[in-house]
Amino acid sequence: MKLVLASRNQKKLRELQEILSELGVEVLSEADAGVDVDVEETGTTFEENAFLKAHAVMEASGLPAVADDSGLCVDALNGAPGIYSARYGGPGLDDVGRYQLLLENMRGQLDRRCRFVSAICCCFPDGRRVEARGECPGTLAYAPKGEDGFGYDPIFFVPEQKKTFAELSAEEKNAISHRGRALALFRRKLEEA
Ligand code: IMP
């Protein structure tokens, strides 16, 4: 079976290829499938946005398509930045600017509980849908630590490991991360579909 990944992110493509190749699934990029779809993420949940992306690429390519939507939800901020994680603070900020803004908005706040969330959706041309959600709980650090990873990794502290995501190896992170968990569940559901 062939699946198109609704994303331009090469890291996501490789990750999905590795996990699904064991099932005999071939994961194609949008370019491989001859489509280039720009989807507005107008949903109000991770699940809705993952569906919007997967559905649009499935329609354009005529092939089953998979998408993920993810972000960081902070309890004391009522779940923000959440689905807006990639755009927190507006277009002028980079990854470092975004996590610094988050630390600033959490200054003096003692309740540091937060979690990463990942929602995966696969849409098939016959109307079937396979969905999976993964979460990873943690606490927000007071200052960034670690060099690896991307996004909010340097300020996401995992109490069990006593390290931030940015201090973990890719293997260590994948074993417990929201995306790793969602992908493992997605793989099991795909086998049953
Ligand atoms: P998406 O690619 O539209 O789902 O955007 C997800 C955004 O959430 C990214 O741009 C990051 O800011 C953040 N994010 C999601 N997963 C992670 C992660 O594993 N580490 C750090 N930041 C993440």
State the CB neighbour count (10 A cutoff) for residue 77: 17
Could you report the per-residue pLDDT of 114-154, keeping only the tens digit for each?
A: 999 999 999 999 999 999 999 999 999 999 999 988 999 99
Confidence of residue 14 (pLDDT cuts 50, 70, 90): confident
State which ligand 1 atom lies nearest to the alpha carbon of 69: 4
The rounded mean pLDDT for the chain is 95
The predicted structure's pLDDT at residue 192: 87
Q: Give residue 71 CA to ligand 1 midpoint distance, Å.
A: 5
Residue tagged active-site, from 69, 75, 148, 153: 69
* Torsion sign (Cα): 185, 190, 192, 193: positive
The side-by-side arrangement of strands in the sheet containing 26-28 is 26-28, 2-5, 65-74, 113-123, 129-140, 156-158, 163-164
Distance CA 50, CA 118 (A): 9
The predicted structure's pLDDT at residue 140: 98
The predicted structure's pLDDT at residue 9: 85
59 to 26, 86, 90, 110, 179: CA distances (angstroms): 18, 25, 30, 46, 25
Written as one letter, the residue type at 10 is Q
Q: Give residue 179 CA to ligand 1 midpoint distance, Å.
A: 10
The mean pLDDT value for 67-78 works out to 97
Q: Which residue has the higher pLDDT, 116 or 10?
A: 116
State which ligand 1 atom lies nearest to the alpha carbon of 178: 19
Confidence of residue 17 (pLDDT cuts 50, 70, 90): confident
Q: Give residue 83 CA to ligand 1 midpoint distance, Å.
A: 9
Could you report the per-residue pLDDT of 38-71, keeping only the tens digit for each?
A: 999 999 999 999 999 999 999 999 999 999 999 9
Instruction: Look up 153 and say whether it is catalytic.
Output: no
Nearest CA to ligand 1 atom 7: 86
* Residues near ligand 1 (Cβ within 6 A): 69-72, 85-86, 116, 149-153, 165, 177
